[in-house]
Amino acid sequence: MDDTKNYLGQFIKISSNQQSRGSQDDRDICGGQPQNFLMIVDPWQVQVAANKAFHLDKINKKSTRNIYTEILYSLSPSKNITDSFKKFGLANEDTSVLVVIVNNQGTPLEDIQTHIAGQLITLDSLPEHTDENLVKKIYKIKEAELSVGSLLDAVVSRIASKDIAPV
C-alpha cells in the first residue's frame, strides 16, 4: 500500500508574494506548492485532484513534470497546461494561498511556515474566500446543474472526468 500523504494549508495576509512563492529549492525542501484558492470550493476538490495526480504519477502518465504541477493541472477543467497554471497558480497580486504538500515521509505542514511569510489559518474558512461566480465561469457550470447537485459536486465531476469527457 502506498503511504504518500498530502497536506493542505491555507495562508492569508501574505506579505511578499515573491517570498511566498519561494524558490524551486524551497519547494523541493519543504515539498509544497502554493496555489490560488479563489476557485477552491472545498478541500475535497483538492483531494480529488491530488489523488488523480498520484494515480497518474504511479502509472507514469503525468501530463506535467512533477506531482505538484500535475495537481494544479488536475484542478483545472482545461487540457491546456499553461492555461491551467495561469488559472490555479499564483498571480503577483495574490495575498492568500492554499499550499499542497505531498510527502510520503509524513513531514508536518508547519515545516512550510518557514518558507511562507503569512498567517496559517484553518481550512474551515476556505469557502469564505471562494469566488463562486468565477468557479461557475471557469468550470462552465449552469444554474440548472446546481438545482440537482452542489457546486462541489459539479466541480469534482469535472475534475474526475476531464480526460474522458469534453469540457
Q: Could you tell me what percent of the chain has a pLDDT over 70? A: 78
**Model confidence at 130: pLDDT above 80:** yes
Residue 34 has a pLDDT of 58
Q: What is the mean pLDDT of residues 153-161?
A: 94
- Nearest CA-CA partner of 100 in 47, 153, 25: 47
Name the residue type at position 138.
Answer: I
Count other C-beta atoms under 10 Å from residue 90's C-beta.
19
Residue 77 has a pLDDT of 92
Q: How far from 55 is each of 70, 71, 94, 124, 129, CA to CA, in Å? A: 10, 11, 30, 27, 29
Identify whether the C-beta of residue 4 lies closer than 8 Å to the C-beta of residue 104.
yes
Enclosing H/E stretch for 58: helix 43-58
pTM of the model: 0.81
Residue 94 φ/ψ, nearest 5 degrees: -65, 135
Name the residue type at position 41.
Answer: V
Where in the chain does DSSP place strands (E)?
Answer: 5-12, 32-35, 97-103, 119-121
**Model confidence at 126: pLDDT above 80:** yes
**Model confidence at 124: pLDDT above 70:** yes
Q: Tell me which of 125 and 142 has the higher pLDDT.
A: 142
Residue 25 has a pLDDT of 41
pLDDT tier for residue 63 given thresholds of 50, 70 and 90: very high
